[in-house]
């Protein structure tokens, strides 16, 4: 017996439109910005920026911990996976602005904290439009340490691939 994944869990409603509009806008901005990063670095950053939240969301939102649902409920739909496409541009912008502003020294901590606050703000907006549904008194602010850790890891990943690229350029 075949069990097909539905396109949406309940109905195509505002949260689905929000995801699609956000994806279109963010990817358009990425496309229109002057290129500051090599294509290979951009691809790696976008993959990393998508994979880490998928793993974390499935750990935190899984049946064992079950702190929140994505989109319309606990079952997976195509739109649940489509929502993960939002993470790639945010990861790209995180590094793009980091390079643009030439962040150094203690500025790294300030930059990570600022972007983590921005992440909290966007997550709050997403929760208001029905992308995230919190359970058991989970609050958007609980995500702040997660943002701090993931963005620190993301920045270290970027520095690692940049260092590798510099050492191995022909």
- Domain hosting residue 47, numbered range: 38-167
Nearest to 13 by CA among 151, 131, 105: 131
Q: Looking at the domain assignment, is residue 1 inside a domain?
A: no
Q: Looking at the domain assignment, is residue 85 inside a domain?
A: yes
Total domains in the chain come to: 1
Q: Looking at the domain assignment, is residue 81 inside a domain?
A: yes
Nearest to 70 by CA among 135, 17, 116: 135
What does the pLDDT profile of the chain (170 residues) look like in tens digits? 456 766 767 778 999 999 999 999 999 999 999 999 999 999 999 999 999 988 887 776 566 677 777 887 777 788 888 889 999 999 999 999 999 999 999 999 999 999 999 999 999 999 999 998 888 778 888 889 999 999 999 999 999 999 998 888 74
Q: Looking at the domain assignment, is residue 32 inside a domain?
A: no
Q: Looking at the domain assignment, is residue 10 inside a domain?
A: no
């Amino acid at each position: 017996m075949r069990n097909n994944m539905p396109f949406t869990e309940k109905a195509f409603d505002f949260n689905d439109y929000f995801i699609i509009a956000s994806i279109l806008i963010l990817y358009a901005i990425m496309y229109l910005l002057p290129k500051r990063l090599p294509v290979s670095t951009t691809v790696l950053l976008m993959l990393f920026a998508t994979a880490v939240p998928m793993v974390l969301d499935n750990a935190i939102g899984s049946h064992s911990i079950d702190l929140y649902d994505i989109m319309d409920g606990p079952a997976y739909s195509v739109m649940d996976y489509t929502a993960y496409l939002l993470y790639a541009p945010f990861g790209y912008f995180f590094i793009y602005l980091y390079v643009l502003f030439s962040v150094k020294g203690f500025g790294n901590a300030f930059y990570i904290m600022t972007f983590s606050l921005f992440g909290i703000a966007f997550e709050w907006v997403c929760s208001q439009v029905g992308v995230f549904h919190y359970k058991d008194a989970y609050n958007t602010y609980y995500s702040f340490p997660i943002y701090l850790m993931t963005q620190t890891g993301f920045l270290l990943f970027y520095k690692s691939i940049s260092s590798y690229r510099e050492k191995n350029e022909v």
